[in-house]
Structure 1
Amino acid sequence: MLRFAISRLVSLGLSLIVASLVIFAVIEGVPGDPAAFMLGLNADPAAVAALREELGLGGSLPARYLDWIGGMLRGDFGISYTYRVPVADLVAARLWVSLPLAAYALALSTAIAFPVGLIAAARRGTAVDAGIMGATQLGIAVPNFWFAMLLVLVFAIQLRLFSAGGFPGWDEGIWINVKALTLPAVALALPQASILARVMRSSVLETLGQDYIRTARAKGLTRRQAVFRHALRNAMIPVLTIIGLQFSFLLAGAIIIENVFFLPGLGRLIFQGITQRDLVVVESVVMLLVFAVITVNFLVDLAYAAVDPRLRRRR
Structure 2
Amino acid sequence: MLRYALKRLLSLVVSLIVASIVIFAVIEVIPGDPAALILGVNARPDTLAALRTEMGLDQPLPLRYADWVWGMLRGDFGTSITYKTPVAEMVADRIWVSLPLAIYALCLSTLIAFPAGIYAAARRGRAGDLGVMGATQLGVAVPNFWFAMILVLIFAINLRWFPSGGFPGWDEGFWKAMKALTLPAIALALPQAAILARVMRSSLLDMLDEDFIRTARAKGLSRRQALWRHAVRNALIPVLTIIGLQFAFLLAGGIIIEQVFFLPGLGRLIFQAISARDLIVVESVVMLLVFVVIVVNFAVDLAYAAVDPRLRTGR
1:78-134 residue CA offsets vs partner (Å, 9 max, x unmatched): 111111111111111111100000000000000010011001000111111111111
Residues in 2 aligned to 1:158 and 1:251: alpha-carbon distance in whole angstroms: 29
| TM-score calculated relative to the size of structure 2 | 0.99
1:2-47 residue CA offsets vs partner (Å, 9 max, x unmatched): 1111110000000000000011111111121111111110111111
Could you tell me which residue of structure 2 aligns to residue 250 of structure 1? 250
Q: CA RMSD in A?
A: 0.8
Give the 3-state SS of the residue equivalent to 1:14 in structure 2: helix
Partner amino acid, structure 2, of 1:40: G
1:50-100 residue CA offsets vs partner (Å, 9 max, x unmatched): 111112222111111111001001111111111111111111111110000
**1:1-315 matched pairs, under 5 angstroms:** 1-314=1-314
Partner amino acid, structure 2, of 1:263: L
Partner amino acid, structure 2, of 1:214: R
Give the 3-state SS of the residue equivalent to 1:164 in structure 2: coil
Residues in 2 aligned to 1:19 and 1:142: alpha-carbon distance in whole angstroms: 31
Residues in 1 aligned to 2:89 and 2:188: alpha-carbon distance in whole angstroms: 26
Residues in 2 aligned to 1:35 and 1:132: alpha-carbon distance in whole angstroms: 53
Residues in 1 aligned to 2:191 and 2:262: alpha-carbon distance in whole angstroms: 21
Residues in 2 aligned to 1:275 and 1:51: alpha-carbon distance in whole angstroms: 18
Worse-superposed segment, 118-127 or 50-59: 50-59
| TM-score calculated relative to the size of structure 1 | 0.99
Give the 3-state SS of the residue equivalent to 2:235 in structure 1: helix
Residues in 2 aligned to 1:146 and 1:79: alpha-carbon distance in whole angstroms: 36
Give the 3-state SS of the residue equivalent to 1:43 in structure 2: coil
Partner amino acid, structure 2, of 1:106: L
Residues in 1 aligned to 2:212 and 2:158: alpha-carbon distance in whole angstroms: 54
What percent of counterpart residues are identical? 75
1:130-153 residue CA offsets vs partner (Å, 9 max, x unmatched): 111111111111221111111111
Give the 3-state SS of the residue equivalent to 1:23 in structure 2: helix
Residues in 1 aligned to 2:86 and 2:126: alpha-carbon distance in whole angstroms: 58
Structure 1: runs of 5 or more not aligned: none
Give the 3-state SS of the residue equivalent to 2:281 in structure 1: helix
Give the 3-state SS of the residue equivalent to 1:130 in structure 2: helix
Residues in 2 aligned to 1:134 and 1:31: alpha-carbon distance in whole angstroms: 45
Structure 2: runs of 5 or more not aligned: none
Runs of 4+ in structure 1 deviating by more than 3 angstroms, as ranges, are none
